[in-house]
Amino acid sequence: MSLLNTNILSVITFLPLVGMLLVLLTPPRAVRTIQWGSIAFSLIPLALSIMLFVSYDQSQGGFQFVERATWFPQINATYQLGVDGISLPLVVLTTFLTPLAMIISTSVEKNPKAYYALFFLLETTVIGVFVALDLILFFIFYEIGLVPMFFLINQWGGANRRYASFKFILYTMFASLGMLLAIQVIGLTSKSFDMVYLASEAGRPFTERNPANFFGWDTSVWKAVAFVAFTIAFALKIPIWPLHTWLPDAHTEAPTGGSMMLAGILLKLGGYGFFRLVMPLFPDVFGQDLLPGLTFAQVLAILALLSIVLGAFAAWGQNDFKKLVAYSSINHMGFVSMGIAATGLALSPSSTVREIDAIIAGNGAVLQMVTHGLSSAAMFAMVGVLYDRAHTRDLNRYGGLWVMMPIYGAMLIFCAMGSLGLPGLSGFVSEFMVVRGAWPIFTLYTILAMAGLLVTGIYILKAIQKVLHGPLGEEWHHHKLPDIRFTEILGVAPLMGAMLVLGVYPALALNLINVGVQGLLR
Amino acid sequence: MFAEAPVTAPPYLATLLWLAPLPPLVAFALIALFFNRYRQLSSTIAVVSMLASTVMSFIVFFNVWQLKDLGKAPIRSTFPWLPTGDTVLNIGVGVDPLGATFLFMVPLACSLIFIYSTGYMANDPYYSRFFAYLSLFGGSMMGLVVSDNLLTLFIFWELMGFCSYSLIGFFFRKPSAYRAAVKAFMTTRVGDMLLLLGMAYLYTQTGTLSFHEILHNEEVLTKLAETPAVFGLSAAAAIALLIFGGTVGKSAQWPLHVWLPDAMEGPTPVSAMIHAATMVSAGVFMLLRFFPLLQAAGEHNTAFLVVALIGAFTAFMGATIAVAQYDIKRVLAFSTISQLGFMVAATGIGAYVAAAFHLLTHAFFKALLFLASGSVIHGVEHGHHAAHAHHAGHHGHSSHAGHEEEHGSEHEEHAHDHDFDPQDMRNMGGLARRMPITFATFLIGGAALAGVPFITAGFWSKDEIFADAYYHGLVKGDGLATLVFVLLVLSALMTAFYTTRQIVMTFLGEPRTEAAAHAEESVPSMTFPLIVLAVFALFIGFINVPKDFPVFGALVGGGAFWLKNFLASMLLEKPEAPPFNAVPVLFSIVVALGGIALGYMVYGVRPLTAGQTDPVERLPFFKFLHNRWYWDDLYRAIFVKPMQFIADRYSEAVDRGVIDRILEGGYALGARVTKGFAEFDRVVITGFSDAVGRAFRAAGDWVRDLQTGQVQGYLLSSLAMALVILIVFIFLFQ
Judge whether A337 and A238 are in contact, CB under 8 Å. Answer: yes
Beta strands in A21-176 (DSSP E): 64-72, 77-83
The burial of A483, by beta-carbon neighbours within 10 Å (0-12 exposed, 13-18 middle, 19 or more buried), is given as middle
Assess whether pLDDT exceeds 50 at residue A305.
yes
Q: Which of B222, B501, B529, B504 is nearest to B375 (CA)?
A: B529
Q: Which of B572, B573, B542 is nearest to B1 (CA)?
A: B542
Q: Inter-axis angle of helices B582-599 and B436-450, to 10 degrees?
A: 140
Torsion A224-A226-A231-A232 (CA) sign? positive
Lowest model confidence (mean pLDDT) among A323-332, B44-53, B671-680: B671-680
Q: Can you tell me the mean pLDDT for A111-117?
A: 87
Judge whether A415 and A484 are in contact, CB under 8 Å. Answer: no
Nearest CA-CA distance, residue B485 and chain A, Å: 35
**Are A413 and B166 an interchain contact pair (Cβ–Cβ within 8 Å)?**
yes
| B90-143 confidence digits (pLDDT tens) | 999 999 899 999 999 999 999 999 999 998 888 888 889 999 999 999 999 999
User: How far apart, in whole angstroms, are the C-alpha atoms of residue A238 and residue A373?
Assistant: 12
Assess whether pLDDT exceeds 70 at residue B682.
no
Q: Which of B343, B362, B248, B261 is nearest to B625 (CA)?
A: B261
Torsion A63-A66-A71-A76 (CA) sign? positive
Q: Which of A281, A357, A359, A269 is nearest to A87 (CA)?
A: A269
Judge whether A490 and A39 are in contact, CB under 8 Å. Answer: no
Q: Per residue, what are the HEC states of A425-436?
A: CHHHHHHHHHHH
**Are A188 and B659 an interchain contact pair (Cβ–Cβ within 8 Å)?**
no
* Identity of residue A380: F
More confident residue, B22 or B230: B22
User: How far apart, in whole angstroms, are the C-alpha atoms of residue B385 and residue B417?
Assistant: 9
Judge whether A57 and A24 are in contact, CB under 8 Å. Answer: no
Spell out the residues 6+ positions from residue A236 whose beta carbon is closer than 8 angstroms to its own. Answer: A171, A172, A175, A243, A246, A270
Residue B228 DSSP label: B
Judge whether B166 and B134 are in contact, CB under 8 Å. Answer: no
| A11-57 confidence digits (pLDDT tens) | 999 999 999 889 888 888 888 888 899 999 999 999 999 999 999 98
More confident residue, A113 or B722: A113
Beta strands in A26-141 (DSSP E): 64-72, 77-83
Residue of chain A whose Cα is closest to the Cα of B183: A458
Assess: ipTM above 0.90: yes
Question: What is the share, in percent, of chain B residues with pLDDT greater than 90?
Answer: 36
**Are A439 and B182 an interchain contact pair (Cβ–Cβ within 8 Å)?**
no
Nearest residue, CB atoms, A514 vs list B85, B157, B722: B85
Judge whether B568 and B101 are in contact, CB under 8 Å. Answer: no
User: How far apart, in whole angstroms, are the C-alpha atoms of residue B674 and residue B313?
Assistant: 69
Task: Enumerate the residues of chain B whose CB falls inside 8 A of the CB of residue A181.
Answer: 725, 729
When the pLDDT of each residue in chain B is averaged and rounded to a whole number, the result is 83
Residue of chain A whose Cα is closest to the Cα of B173: A470
**Are A458 and B172 an interchain contact pair (Cβ–Cβ within 8 Å)?**
no
Q: Which of B159, B137, B145 is nearest to B359 (CA)?
A: B145
> What percent of the residues of chain A are helix, what percent strand, and what percent coil, each to the nearest 5?
75, 5, 20
Assess whether pLDDT exceeds 50 at residue A192.
yes
Q: Can you tell me the mean pLDDT for A167-183?
A: 83
Task: Enumerate the residues of chain A whose CB falls inside 8 A of the CB of residue B660.
Answer: 245
| B280-308 confidence digits (pLDDT tens) | 999 999 999 999 998 888 877 888 889 99
User: How far apart, in whole angstroms, are the C-alpha atoms of residue A195 and residue A204?
Assistant: 9
Residue B147 DSSP label: B
Can you say whether residue B288 is alpha, beta or left, with left for phi > 0 and alpha for psi between -120 and 50 degrees?
A: alpha
Q: Estimate to the nearest angstrom the gap between the alpha carbon of B284 and the chain centroid.
A: 10
pTM (predicted TM-score): 0.89
Assess whether pLDDT exceeds 70 at residue B357.
yes
Assess whether pLDDT exceeds 60 at residue A178.
yes
Assess whether pLDDT exceeds 50 at residue B402.
no
Residue B80 bridge partners (DSSP): B90
Q: What is the largest CA-CA distance in chain B?
A: 110
Query: pLDDT band at residue A347, thresholds of 50, 70 and 90?
Result: confident
Q: Which of A6, A2, A143, A140 is nearest to A69 (CA)?
A: A6
3-state secondary structure of B431: helix
Please report the pLDDT score of residue B400 as a whole number. 42
Provide the number of CB pairs (under 8 Å) joining chain A to chain B: 186
The count of other CB atoms within 10 Å of the CB of residue B542 is: 15
Torsions phi, psi of B228, nearest 5?
-80, 145
* Identity of residue A375: S
Q: Inter-axis angle of helices A507-521 and A87-104, to 10 degrees?
A: 140
**Are B82 and A162 an interchain contact pair (Cβ–Cβ within 8 Å)?**
no
**Are B643 and A313 an interchain contact pair (Cβ–Cβ within 8 Å)?**
yes
Please report the pLDDT score of residue B4 as a whole number. 52
Residue A81 bridge partners (DSSP): A67, A132
Task: Enumerate the residues of chain A whose CB falls inside 8 A of the CB of residue B699.
Answer: none
Judge whether A152 and B706 are in contact, CB under 8 Å. Answer: no
Lowest model confidence (mean pLDDT) among A104-118, A401-415, B652-666, B701-715: B701-715
Spell out the residues 6+ positions from residue B512 whose beta carbon is closer than 8 angstroms to its own. Answer: B426, B427, B428, B429, B430, B608, B609, B610, B611
Residue of chain A whose Cα is closest to the Cα of B89: A507
Nearest residue, CB atoms, A363 vs list B84, B189, B200: B84
**Are B185 and A461 an interchain contact pair (Cβ–Cβ within 8 Å)?**
yes
Query: pLDDT band at residue B511, thresholds of 50, 70 and 90?
Result: confident
Query: pLDDT band at residue A287, thresholds of 50, 70 and 90?
Result: confident
